[in-house]
A and B are shown apart, each in its own frame.
Chain A
Amino acid sequence: MIAAQAAPPQSGRPFSVGLLFQLEPGWHVYWQNAGDSGQPPTIQWSLPPGFRVGAIAWPTPTRLGKGSVIDYGYESQVLLIAPINAPASRKLDPADALEIGADVKYLICREICVPARAHATLSLPLSGDTAKRAARWRSLFAQTESQIPKRLPSDWKVVARSNAGNFVLSVRAAVPAAQASFFPLDQNVVENSAPQSFVPAKTGFQLTLKKSDLLAKPIAALRGVLVLGSGRAYEIAAPVI
């Protein structure tokens, strides 16, 4: 596991760092909503004064497990990217290096689970050859960025109708979809292990999601990631009506 960056930092400009989990076959780590079991990784960054780190851009997860216990996470490898803002007020000296540290707590599971901690560091030279060093990681960053859910196109509309047992997610889309699945961002909202029934419509589709037995009170919006058959993923917050 290591920290990496995409492009050479400049004063006042954001840049990206990533934390790479490389997992042996069969092992997984978790998405921001771990699902029925498990726990997402937490990262405590240490940065030079004035630098600020933003939230992790979580790539679309996969469904893990079978039967009545379903989790959301990543197998094989995942890069967790976070934006860092370099202070505008400070001139970055090309002779300097940026020291970035990450204290990571994570749970890694196969059949068994092992809680683990790791400390990753990155010493990022600000001189010219940074770009060359970064090139090594460019394709991994680009590939990961393509797996990060996008904002819903403005001409699409989503709404979730609430009935006794289900949320019926209606999506009005500009393009037809052959299949779709939903990953809930919040816990205790939909039953992770329930099949999601997809019904195409003329101008989009409907996805029926079983409510969680743990859903205690009505929710204002159904938040999560909608993945289409094509693999394209969108972040949604569907108003519940």
Chain B
Amino acid sequence: MKRHFAASLTAIVLLVLATSLAWAARVGDPAPNFTATDTNGQIHKLSDYAGKFVVLEWHNRGCPYTQKHYDSGNMENLQREWTGRGVIWLTVISSAPGKQGFVTASDENAYVKQVNAAPTAVLLDPTGLLGHLYDAKTTPHMFIINPQGTLIYNGAIDDRPTADRSDINGAKNYVSAALEQALAGKPVTTPTTRPYGCSVKYPD
């Protein structure tokens, strides 16, 4: 009986996600709510974080653009800085099983430890539902949601669309700029940019 209940609950969640697919995620609109499981088996809903800023970071450790920001320590530093200032930082992996960047929970936990990453959690999205809900295109692709649940940033991590580590110094980091402005109660001056990186490896 209990098992039955769990199964129908999953079906309802999937249905809700599927019907919101058409919305995508536009800056200024309410950010689509989601339910996703992290690498420690914890369930996260966007609505759990009402009242806080939330960053979504699409991730694929095999992608050279992601490596640019991780091997340099840039992404880990951003995670540490912003979570230290009360921001919820959710790294999302939407690679499908068999595709580049697909990871198991324990594998990902070992990686997070190894690179000393500091997100609030890493969400596993092997079905790509969360990715499609936000229309995440690349790794990295960054989104920011404000405490009222409105999407306030959608785009690239910075203004140097390369895989070159030497381009991090001197780049304008759009995520930090948007968070600084929003935390100070100001409007975000650059709320949308074209994300850059490798394509998200969704299921076929």
Majority SS at the chain A contact face: loop
Asked if A36 meets B199 with Cβ closer than 8 Å, knowing A68-B135, A112-B100, A114-B64, the reply is yes
The answer to whether B64 and A213 have CB atoms under 8 Å apart is no
Q: Which residues of A contact B163 (CB under 8 A)?
A: 39, 107, 113, 115
Q: Total A-B residue pairs with C-beta atoms closer than 8 Å? A: 67
The answer to whether B64 and A111 have CB atoms under 8 Å apart is no
Does B174 have its Cβ within 8 Å of any Cβ on chain A? no
Smallest CB separation, A183 vs chain B (Å): 15
Q: Which residues of B contact A214 (CB under 8 A)?
A: 154-155, 192-194
C-beta contact mask, A157-183 vs B, less than 8 Å → 1, else 0?
000000000000000000000000000
Q: How far is the CA of A214 from the CA of B142 in the complex (A)?
A: 13
Q: Which residues of B contact A39 (CB under 8 A)?
A: 161-163, 196
The answer to whether B137 and A37 have CB atoms under 8 Å apart is yes
Q: Which residue of A lies closest to B23 (CB)?
A: A213
Does B63 have its Cβ within 8 Å of any Cβ on chain A? yes
Q: How far is the CA of A48 from the CA of B204 in the complex (A)?
A: 50
The answer to whether B137 and A216 have CB atoms under 8 Å apart is no
Smallest CB separation, B129 vs chain A (Å): 12
The answer to whether B24 and A69 have CB atoms under 8 Å apart is no
Q: How far is the CA of A109 from the CA of B201 in the complex (A)?
A: 12
Binding site for B on A (CB under 8 A): 36-39, 65-69, 71, 105, 107, 109, 111-115, 187-188, 213-214, 216
Q: How far is the CA of A114 from the CA of B67 in the complex (A)?
A: 11
Q: 20 A-B residue contacts at CB 8 Å? A: A37-B199, A38-B199, A39-B196, A66-B204, A68-B137, A69-B138, A69-B199, A69-B202, A109-B198, A111-B100, A112-B62, A113-B163, A113-B198, A115-B163, A115-B164, A188-B192, A213-B24, A213-B26, A213-B192, A214-B192
Q: Which residues of A contact B201 (CB under 8 A)?
A: 111
Q: How far is the CA of A119 from the CA of B11 in the complex (A)?
A: 55
Q: Which residue of B lies closest to A214 (CB)?
A: B192
Asked if A71 meets B154 with Cβ closer than 8 Å, knowing A107-B163, A112-B100, A213-B24, the reply is no
Smallest CB separation, A72 vs chain B (Å): 12
Smallest CB separation, A220 vs chain B (Å): 19
Q: How far is the CA of A114 from the CA of B62 in the complex (A)?
A: 10
Closest 10 CB pairs of A and B: A37-B199, A115-B163, A69-B199, A187-B194, A36-B137, A214-B192, A37-B138, A113-B198, A188-B194, A115-B64
